[in-house]
Structure 1
Amino acid sequence: MAGPVTGADLAGVLAGARLLPVLTVPSTATAGPLADALAAGGARCAEVTFRTPGAERVLKTMAAHGGLAVGAGTVLTPEQAERAVAAGARFVVSPGFDEDVVARCRELGVPVVPGIATATELMRALKAGLDTVKLFPAESLGGLRALRALAAPFPGVRFVPTGGIDASRMAGYLAEPAVLAVGGSWMAPVAHLDKGDYAEIRRLTADAVERSTT
Protein backbone atom coordinates (compact mmCIF):
# COMPACT_ATOMS: atom_id res chain seq x y z
CA MET A 1 0.00 0.00 0.00
CA ALA A 2 1.20 3.51 -0.78
CA GLY A 3 2.16 5.88 2.01
CA PRO A 4 0.06 8.74 3.36
CA VAL A 5 -1.11 11.42 0.96
CA THR A 6 -0.56 14.70 2.76
CA GLY A 7 -1.53 18.32 2.59
CA ALA A 8 1.76 19.01 0.85
CA ASP A 9 0.56 16.78 -1.98
CA LEU A 10 -2.72 18.68 -2.19
CA ALA A 11 -0.92 22.02 -2.08
CA GLY A 12 1.18 20.84 -5.00
CA VAL A 13 -1.91 19.94 -7.01
CA LEU A 14 -3.51 23.31 -6.23
CA ALA A 15 -0.26 25.01 -7.32
CA GLY A 16 -0.56 27.76 -4.74
CA ALA A 17 -4.21 28.50 -5.46
CA ARG A 18 -6.19 29.32 -2.33
CA LEU A 19 -9.59 29.32 -4.00
CA LEU A 20 -11.46 26.13 -4.89
CA PRO A 21 -14.61 26.61 -7.00
CA VAL A 22 -17.12 23.89 -6.08
CA LEU A 23 -19.20 22.95 -9.12
CA THR A 24 -22.52 21.14 -9.42
CA VAL A 25 -22.88 20.93 -13.20
CA PRO A 26 -26.36 19.96 -14.45
CA SER A 27 -25.39 19.32 -18.09
CA THR A 28 -22.30 17.85 -19.71
CA ALA A 29 -22.70 20.38 -22.53
CA THR A 30 -21.66 23.13 -20.13
CA ALA A 31 -18.41 21.45 -19.04
CA GLY A 32 -16.12 22.83 -21.74
CA PRO A 33 -17.38 26.44 -21.69
CA LEU A 34 -17.37 26.35 -17.89
CA ALA A 35 -13.75 25.22 -17.77
CA ASP A 36 -12.84 28.01 -20.19
CA ALA A 37 -14.69 30.62 -18.12
CA LEU A 38 -13.07 29.56 -14.87
CA ALA A 39 -9.60 29.49 -16.39
CA ALA A 40 -10.16 32.88 -18.04
CA GLY A 41 -11.15 34.25 -14.64
CA GLY A 42 -7.85 33.08 -13.17
CA ALA A 43 -8.95 29.88 -11.38
CA ARG A 44 -6.32 27.15 -11.29
CA CYS A 45 -8.39 24.34 -9.81
CA ALA A 46 -11.99 23.21 -9.44
CA GLU A 47 -14.02 20.55 -7.66
CA VAL A 48 -16.76 18.76 -9.62
CA THR A 49 -19.31 17.29 -7.25
CA PHE A 50 -20.60 13.77 -7.90
CA ARG A 51 -24.20 14.85 -7.33
CA THR A 52 -25.45 14.67 -10.92
CA PRO A 53 -25.75 11.72 -13.32
CA GLY A 54 -23.27 13.26 -15.74
CA ALA A 55 -20.65 14.28 -13.19
CA GLU A 56 -18.13 11.71 -14.39
CA ARG A 57 -18.33 12.96 -17.98
CA VAL A 58 -18.20 16.58 -16.81
CA LEU A 59 -15.05 15.87 -14.82
CA LYS A 60 -13.43 14.09 -17.75
CA THR A 61 -14.21 16.96 -20.13
CA MET A 62 -12.98 19.65 -17.74
CA ALA A 63 -9.82 17.71 -16.88
CA ALA A 64 -9.02 17.34 -20.58
CA HIS A 65 -9.06 21.11 -21.05
CA GLY A 66 -5.74 21.32 -19.24
CA GLY A 67 -6.23 24.77 -17.78
CA LEU A 68 -7.47 23.52 -14.42
CA ALA A 69 -6.47 20.95 -11.83
CA VAL A 70 -9.84 19.23 -11.49
CA GLY A 71 -10.89 17.13 -8.54
CA ALA A 72 -14.00 15.20 -7.55
CA GLY A 73 -16.25 16.23 -4.69
CA THR A 74 -19.06 14.60 -2.72
CA VAL A 75 -17.28 11.26 -3.10
CA LEU A 76 -19.01 8.79 -0.79
CA THR A 77 -17.60 5.37 -1.73
CA PRO A 78 -14.32 3.79 -2.82
CA GLU A 79 -15.96 2.89 -6.13
CA GLN A 80 -16.80 6.54 -6.77
CA ALA A 81 -13.19 7.45 -5.98
CA GLU A 82 -11.99 4.91 -8.55
CA ARG A 83 -14.33 6.29 -11.21
CA ALA A 84 -13.32 9.85 -10.43
CA VAL A 85 -9.61 9.15 -10.74
CA ALA A 86 -10.20 7.20 -13.97
CA ALA A 87 -12.00 10.27 -15.32
CA GLY A 88 -9.02 12.48 -14.53
CA ALA A 89 -9.58 13.70 -10.97
CA ARG A 90 -6.34 14.90 -9.40
CA PHE A 91 -7.78 15.01 -5.89
CA VAL A 92 -10.83 13.70 -4.05
CA VAL A 93 -13.07 15.50 -1.57
CA SER A 94 -15.67 13.88 0.72
CA PRO A 95 -18.35 15.50 2.87
CA GLY A 96 -17.39 13.28 5.80
CA PHE A 97 -14.66 10.94 6.98
CA ASP A 98 -14.77 7.37 5.64
CA GLU A 99 -11.83 5.02 6.21
CA ASP A 100 -12.50 3.01 3.07
CA VAL A 101 -12.58 6.07 0.81
CA VAL A 102 -9.35 7.36 2.37
CA ALA A 103 -7.66 3.98 1.98
CA ARG A 104 -8.67 3.65 -1.68
CA CYS A 105 -7.46 7.16 -2.49
CA ARG A 106 -4.16 6.34 -0.83
CA GLU A 107 -3.86 3.22 -2.99
CA LEU A 108 -4.67 5.32 -6.07
CA GLY A 109 -2.05 7.90 -5.07
CA VAL A 110 -4.34 10.93 -5.06
CA PRO A 111 -4.77 13.52 -2.30
CA VAL A 112 -8.00 13.04 -0.37
CA VAL A 113 -9.69 15.70 1.73
CA PRO A 114 -12.36 14.20 4.01
CA GLY A 115 -14.93 16.40 5.65
CA ILE A 116 -14.90 16.79 9.43
CA ALA A 117 -17.18 18.65 11.82
CA THR A 118 -15.81 17.62 15.24
CA ALA A 119 -12.52 17.12 17.04
CA THR A 120 -13.23 13.38 17.19
CA GLU A 121 -13.54 13.16 13.41
CA LEU A 122 -10.37 15.21 13.03
CA MET A 123 -8.49 12.83 15.31
CA ARG A 124 -9.68 9.90 13.18
CA ALA A 125 -8.34 11.65 10.09
CA LEU A 126 -5.00 12.25 11.78
CA LYS A 127 -4.85 8.60 12.81
CA ALA A 128 -5.38 7.67 9.15
CA GLY A 129 -2.27 9.66 8.23
CA LEU A 130 -3.96 12.80 6.91
CA ASP A 131 -3.04 16.35 7.80
CA THR A 132 -5.52 18.29 5.63
CA VAL A 133 -9.29 18.14 6.09
CA LYS A 134 -12.39 19.85 4.81
CA LEU A 135 -14.32 21.76 7.48
CA PHE A 136 -17.93 21.15 6.44
CA PRO A 137 -20.44 22.72 6.59
CA ALA A 138 -18.23 25.56 7.76
CA GLU A 139 -20.74 28.36 8.28
CA SER A 140 -23.40 26.13 9.83
CA LEU A 141 -20.81 24.82 12.29
CA GLY A 142 -19.98 28.31 13.51
CA GLY A 143 -17.74 29.76 10.81
CA LEU A 144 -14.44 31.26 11.83
CA ARG A 145 -15.04 30.66 15.54
CA ALA A 146 -15.46 26.94 14.91
CA LEU A 147 -12.40 26.80 12.68
CA ARG A 148 -10.22 28.55 15.25
CA ALA A 149 -11.49 26.31 18.03
CA LEU A 150 -10.60 23.17 16.05
CA ALA A 151 -7.29 24.50 14.80
CA ALA A 152 -5.97 25.46 18.25
CA PRO A 153 -5.31 21.93 19.61
CA PHE A 154 -4.14 20.64 16.21
CA PRO A 155 -1.45 23.10 15.04
CA GLY A 156 -0.21 20.87 12.22
CA VAL A 157 -3.57 20.52 10.48
CA ARG A 158 -4.57 22.49 7.38
CA PHE A 159 -8.23 23.16 6.65
CA VAL A 160 -10.26 23.64 3.47
CA PRO A 161 -13.47 25.22 4.80
CA THR A 162 -16.52 24.79 2.58
CA GLY A 163 -20.23 25.27 3.04
CA GLY A 164 -22.07 28.59 3.17
CA ILE A 165 -18.98 30.63 2.30
CA ASP A 166 -19.36 33.43 -0.24
CA ALA A 167 -17.30 36.32 -1.55
CA SER A 168 -17.96 38.43 1.53
CA ARG A 169 -16.74 35.73 3.94
CA MET A 170 -13.83 34.35 1.93
CA ALA A 171 -11.17 36.84 3.07
CA GLY A 172 -11.79 36.13 6.75
CA TYR A 173 -11.09 32.44 6.25
CA LEU A 174 -8.04 33.01 4.08
CA ALA A 175 -6.53 35.21 6.79
CA GLU A 176 -6.36 32.20 9.10
CA PRO A 177 -2.90 30.51 9.09
CA ALA A 178 -4.50 27.06 9.32
CA VAL A 179 -6.48 27.50 6.09
CA LEU A 180 -4.96 26.02 2.94
CA ALA A 181 -7.78 27.03 0.59
CA VAL A 182 -11.45 28.01 0.66
CA GLY A 183 -14.13 26.18 -1.30
CA GLY A 184 -17.36 27.71 -2.54
CA SER A 185 -20.01 27.56 -5.23
CA TRP A 186 -20.76 31.26 -5.62
CA MET A 187 -18.44 31.63 -8.64
CA ALA A 188 -20.48 29.27 -10.81
CA PRO A 189 -24.03 29.02 -9.45
CA VAL A 190 -26.40 26.62 -11.14
CA ALA A 191 -28.63 29.52 -12.26
CA HIS A 192 -25.76 30.96 -14.35
CA LEU A 193 -24.96 27.53 -15.77
CA ASP A 194 -28.59 26.99 -16.73
CA LYS A 195 -28.57 30.32 -18.59
CA GLY A 196 -25.17 29.76 -20.13
CA ASP A 197 -23.95 33.01 -18.60
CA TYR A 198 -20.25 32.20 -18.80
CA ALA A 199 -19.27 35.87 -18.95
CA GLU A 200 -20.73 36.37 -15.46
CA ILE A 201 -19.04 33.20 -14.21
CA ARG A 202 -15.74 34.55 -15.55
CA ARG A 203 -16.38 37.88 -13.81
CA LEU A 204 -17.28 36.27 -10.48
CA THR A 205 -14.23 34.02 -10.67
CA ALA A 206 -11.89 36.90 -11.49
CA ASP A 207 -13.29 38.91 -8.60
CA ALA A 208 -12.83 35.98 -6.20
CA VAL A 209 -9.30 35.26 -7.42
CA GLU A 210 -8.34 38.91 -6.97
CA ARG A 211 -9.78 38.93 -3.45
CA SER A 212 -7.92 35.72 -2.60
CA THR A 213 -4.54 37.20 -3.49
CA THR A 214 -4.85 40.57 -1.76
Structure 2
Amino acid sequence: MSSTPELHAPAPSLLDLVPVVPVVVIDDLDHAVPVAEALVRGGLPVIELTLRTPVALQAIARVAAEVPDIRIGAGTVTTAAQADQAWAAGAQFLVSPGATPTLLDAMEQTGLPFLPGVATVSEALTAVERGHTDLKFFPAEAAGGAAYLSSIGGPLPDVRFCPTGGITPESAPRYLALPNVGCVGGSWITPRSALTEGRWDVVASLAGGAAALTGRA
Protein backbone atom coordinates (compact mmCIF):
# COMPACT_ATOMS: atom_id res chain seq x y z
CA MET A 1 0.00 0.00 0.00
CA SER A 2 1.59 3.22 -1.09
CA SER A 3 1.61 6.19 1.23
CA THR A 4 0.68 9.69 0.19
CA PRO A 5 3.55 12.16 0.62
CA GLU A 6 2.95 14.61 3.43
CA LEU A 7 2.23 18.09 2.13
CA HIS A 8 3.71 21.05 3.94
CA ALA A 9 2.31 24.55 3.75
CA PRO A 10 4.80 27.10 2.44
CA ALA A 11 6.59 29.16 5.05
CA PRO A 12 4.83 32.45 5.74
CA SER A 13 6.26 35.58 4.20
CA LEU A 14 8.40 37.75 6.43
CA LEU A 15 5.78 40.43 5.80
CA ASP A 16 3.05 38.37 7.46
CA LEU A 17 4.67 37.53 10.79
CA VAL A 18 3.97 40.70 12.78
CA PRO A 19 2.56 44.15 11.98
CA VAL A 20 5.75 45.85 13.16
CA VAL A 21 9.25 44.41 12.86
CA PRO A 22 11.41 45.87 15.64
CA VAL A 23 14.56 47.40 14.15
CA VAL A 24 17.14 47.20 16.92
CA VAL A 25 20.63 48.62 17.42
CA ILE A 26 22.68 46.81 20.06
CA ASP A 27 25.71 48.62 21.47
CA ASP A 28 26.14 46.44 24.56
CA LEU A 29 26.25 42.70 23.95
CA ASP A 30 24.64 42.05 27.33
CA HIS A 31 21.47 43.80 26.11
CA ALA A 32 20.87 41.37 23.25
CA VAL A 33 19.11 38.55 25.08
CA PRO A 34 17.03 40.70 27.48
CA VAL A 35 15.71 42.89 24.67
CA ALA A 36 14.79 39.85 22.59
CA GLU A 37 13.00 38.27 25.54
CA ALA A 38 11.12 41.53 26.18
CA LEU A 39 9.95 41.65 22.58
CA VAL A 40 8.63 38.09 22.85
CA ARG A 41 6.78 38.94 26.08
CA GLY A 42 5.22 41.92 24.36
CA GLY A 43 3.96 39.85 21.45
CA LEU A 44 6.55 40.62 18.76
CA PRO A 45 8.58 37.41 18.28
CA VAL A 46 10.68 38.92 15.47
CA ILE A 47 13.76 41.12 15.65
CA GLU A 48 15.82 42.82 12.94
CA LEU A 49 19.17 43.40 14.60
CA THR A 50 21.13 45.90 12.54
CA LEU A 51 24.77 45.41 11.60
CA ARG A 52 25.69 48.92 12.70
CA THR A 53 27.81 48.19 15.76
CA PRO A 54 30.93 46.10 16.48
CA VAL A 55 28.93 43.62 18.59
CA ALA A 56 26.05 43.11 16.17
CA LEU A 57 27.11 39.72 14.83
CA GLN A 58 27.86 38.45 18.34
CA ALA A 59 24.46 39.72 19.45
CA ILE A 60 22.77 37.80 16.64
CA ALA A 61 24.62 34.64 17.65
CA ARG A 62 23.65 35.06 21.29
CA VAL A 63 19.97 35.66 20.54
CA ALA A 64 19.89 32.73 18.11
CA ALA A 65 21.34 30.45 20.81
CA GLU A 66 19.44 31.69 23.85
CA VAL A 67 16.02 32.96 22.68
CA PRO A 68 14.46 30.18 20.58
CA ASP A 69 11.03 31.83 20.60
CA ILE A 70 12.14 34.77 18.46
CA ARG A 71 12.95 34.93 14.77
CA ILE A 72 16.27 36.71 14.53
CA GLY A 73 17.26 38.65 11.42
CA ALA A 74 20.22 40.77 10.38
CA GLY A 75 19.46 44.25 9.13
CA THR A 76 21.55 46.88 7.35
CA VAL A 77 23.23 44.17 5.28
CA THR A 78 25.23 46.16 2.72
CA THR A 79 27.98 43.78 1.55
CA ALA A 80 28.33 40.19 0.41
CA ALA A 81 30.64 39.53 3.35
CA GLN A 82 28.02 40.72 5.81
CA ALA A 83 25.43 38.42 4.29
CA ASP A 84 27.76 35.46 4.82
CA GLN A 85 28.70 36.58 8.33
CA ALA A 86 25.07 37.03 9.35
CA TRP A 87 24.20 33.56 8.07
CA ALA A 88 27.15 32.07 9.97
CA ALA A 89 26.11 33.89 13.15
CA GLY A 90 22.66 32.29 13.05
CA ALA A 91 20.50 34.91 11.39
CA GLN A 92 17.22 33.51 10.08
CA PHE A 93 16.55 36.30 7.60
CA LEU A 94 18.32 39.28 6.07
CA VAL A 95 17.28 42.86 5.35
CA SER A 96 19.22 45.30 3.19
CA PRO A 97 18.76 49.07 2.78
CA GLY A 98 19.44 48.77 -0.96
CA ALA A 99 20.10 46.02 -3.47
CA THR A 100 22.93 45.80 -5.99
CA PRO A 101 23.34 42.73 -8.23
CA THR A 102 26.34 41.63 -6.13
CA LEU A 103 24.41 41.98 -2.87
CA LEU A 104 21.37 40.18 -4.28
CA ASP A 105 23.63 37.33 -5.39
CA ALA A 106 25.17 37.06 -1.94
CA MET A 107 21.86 37.12 -0.08
CA GLU A 108 20.37 34.54 -2.43
CA GLN A 109 23.37 32.27 -1.91
CA THR A 110 22.81 32.14 1.86
CA GLY A 111 19.49 30.38 1.28
CA LEU A 112 17.85 32.66 3.85
CA PRO A 113 14.68 34.63 3.19
CA PHE A 114 15.44 38.32 2.78
CA LEU A 115 13.96 41.72 2.05
CA PRO A 116 15.94 43.72 -0.52
CA GLY A 117 15.74 47.45 0.03
CA VAL A 118 14.31 49.70 -2.69
CA ALA A 119 13.31 53.33 -2.94
CA THR A 120 12.17 53.70 -6.57
CA VAL A 121 10.04 51.85 -9.09
CA SER A 122 13.12 50.99 -11.15
CA GLU A 123 14.80 49.45 -8.12
CA ALA A 124 11.64 47.49 -7.33
CA LEU A 125 11.48 46.20 -10.92
CA THR A 126 15.12 45.11 -10.69
CA ALA A 127 14.27 43.01 -7.64
CA VAL A 128 11.13 41.64 -9.30
CA GLU A 129 13.18 40.56 -12.32
CA ARG A 130 15.23 38.47 -9.89
CA GLY A 131 12.07 36.87 -8.51
CA HIS A 132 11.69 38.95 -5.35
CA THR A 133 8.28 40.51 -4.68
CA ASP A 134 8.57 41.06 -0.91
CA LEU A 135 10.68 44.19 -0.51
CA LYS A 136 11.81 46.76 2.03
CA PHE A 137 10.89 50.36 1.20
CA PHE A 138 13.62 52.59 2.62
CA PRO A 139 13.89 55.32 3.74
CA ALA A 140 10.13 55.30 3.86
CA GLU A 141 9.21 58.76 5.07
CA ALA A 142 12.00 60.54 3.18
CA ALA A 143 11.30 58.61 -0.04
CA GLY A 144 7.62 59.54 -0.30
CA GLY A 145 5.85 57.78 2.54
CA ALA A 146 2.48 56.08 2.43
CA ALA A 147 1.27 58.28 -0.43
CA TYR A 148 4.12 57.07 -2.64
CA LEU A 149 3.48 53.40 -1.88
CA SER A 150 -0.22 53.88 -2.58
CA SER A 151 0.54 55.45 -5.97
CA ILE A 152 2.76 52.57 -7.16
CA GLY A 153 0.36 49.83 -6.13
CA GLY A 154 -1.33 49.95 -9.54
CA PRO A 155 1.72 49.41 -11.75
CA LEU A 156 3.26 46.95 -9.29
CA PRO A 157 0.25 44.88 -8.18
CA ASP A 158 2.25 41.82 -7.13
CA VAL A 159 4.83 43.63 -5.00
CA ARG A 160 4.49 44.07 -1.25
CA PHE A 161 6.59 46.18 1.05
CA CYS A 162 7.92 46.57 4.57
CA PRO A 163 8.37 50.35 4.77
CA THR A 164 11.08 51.35 7.23
CA GLY A 165 12.66 54.65 8.16
CA GLY A 166 11.08 57.48 10.10
CA ILE A 167 7.90 55.56 10.91
CA THR A 168 6.19 56.23 14.24
CA PRO A 169 3.31 54.63 16.15
CA GLU A 170 1.13 57.43 14.78
CA SER A 171 2.11 57.00 11.12
CA ALA A 172 2.37 53.19 11.09
CA PRO A 173 -1.41 52.59 10.71
CA ARG A 174 -1.48 54.68 7.51
CA TYR A 175 1.05 52.30 5.99
CA LEU A 176 -0.62 49.17 7.36
CA ALA A 177 -3.89 50.23 5.73
CA LEU A 178 -2.34 49.90 2.26
CA PRO A 179 -2.93 46.61 0.41
CA ASN A 180 0.71 46.50 -0.75
CA VAL A 181 2.12 46.80 2.77
CA GLY A 182 2.50 43.70 4.90
CA CYS A 183 4.28 45.20 7.89
CA VAL A 184 6.42 48.16 8.86
CA GLY A 185 9.84 48.40 10.46
CA GLY A 186 9.99 50.39 13.68
CA SER A 187 12.86 51.52 15.89
CA TRP A 188 10.63 53.24 18.46
CA ILE A 189 10.00 49.92 20.23
CA THR A 190 13.53 49.72 21.62
CA PRO A 191 14.55 53.27 22.61
CA ARG A 192 18.21 53.66 23.49
CA SER A 193 17.37 54.99 26.96
CA ALA A 194 15.34 51.89 27.81
CA LEU A 195 18.19 49.61 26.78
CA THR A 196 20.82 51.65 28.59
CA GLU A 197 18.76 51.64 31.80
CA GLY A 198 17.73 48.00 31.48
CA ARG A 199 14.03 48.92 31.33
CA TRP A 200 12.88 45.73 29.67
CA ASP A 201 9.36 46.38 30.94
CA VAL A 202 9.27 49.48 28.75
CA VAL A 203 10.37 47.48 25.72
CA ALA A 204 7.73 44.81 26.41
CA SER A 205 5.03 47.47 26.77
CA LEU A 206 6.02 49.22 23.52
CA ALA A 207 6.11 45.85 21.79
CA GLY A 208 2.59 45.12 23.03
CA GLY A 209 1.34 48.38 21.60
CA ALA A 210 3.03 47.73 18.27
CA ALA A 211 1.69 44.18 18.09
CA ALA A 212 -1.85 45.56 18.36
CA LEU A 213 -1.48 48.07 15.52
CA THR A 214 -3.74 47.68 12.53
CA GLY A 215 -4.25 49.70 9.38
CA ARG A 216 -6.58 52.63 9.11
CA ALA A 217 -7.10 55.16 6.38
TM-score (norm 1): 0.91
Matched, 1:33 2:63: no
Query: For residue 123 of structure 2, what is the aligned residue in structure 1?
Result: 121
Alignment of 1:1-214 (within 5 A): 11-12=12-13, 16-64=17-65, 65-212=67-214
How far apart are 1:9 and its partner, in Å? 7.2
Letter in structure 2 aligned against 1:181: C
Residues 71-123 of structure 1, C-alpha deviations (whole Å, 9 max, x = no match): 00000111100110111111111111121221122122111211111111111
Q: Which moved more, 1:118-127 or 1:12-21?
A: 12-21
Measured on the aligned residues, the alpha-carbon RMSD in Å equals 1.9
Unaligned runs of 5+ in 2: 1-8
Higher fraction of helix: 1
- Amino acid aligned to 1:192: A
On the 8 A contact 2:16/2:183 being kept in 1, the answer is no
Q: Distance in 1 between matches of 2:16 and 2:61?
A: 20
CA–CA distance in 2 between the matches of 1:99 and 1:176? 29
CA distance in 2, matches of 1:24, 1:10: 27
Aligned to 1:5: none
Distance 1:14 1:46, change over 3 A: farther
Matched residue type, 2:188: W
TM-score by length of 2: 0.90
Taking structure 1 as reference, are residues 13 and 163 closer, same or farther at Cα in structure 2, changes over 3 Å only?
closer
The 8 Å contact of residues 35 and 67 in structure 1, kept in 2 or not, is answered as: no
Is the contact made by 1:113 and 1:132 (CA closer than 8 Å) also made in structure 2?
yes
Query: Is the contact between residue 46 and residue 69 of structure 1 (CA under 8 Å) also seen in structure 2?
Result: yes
- Structure 1: which 4+ aligned runs deviate by more than 6 Å? none
Question: In the alignment, is the contact (CA less than 8 A) between 1:115 and 1:134 conserved in 2?
Answer: yes
Q: Percent identity?
A: 38
Q: Structure 1 pair 12/142, CA: closer, same or farther in 2 (3 Å)?
A: closer
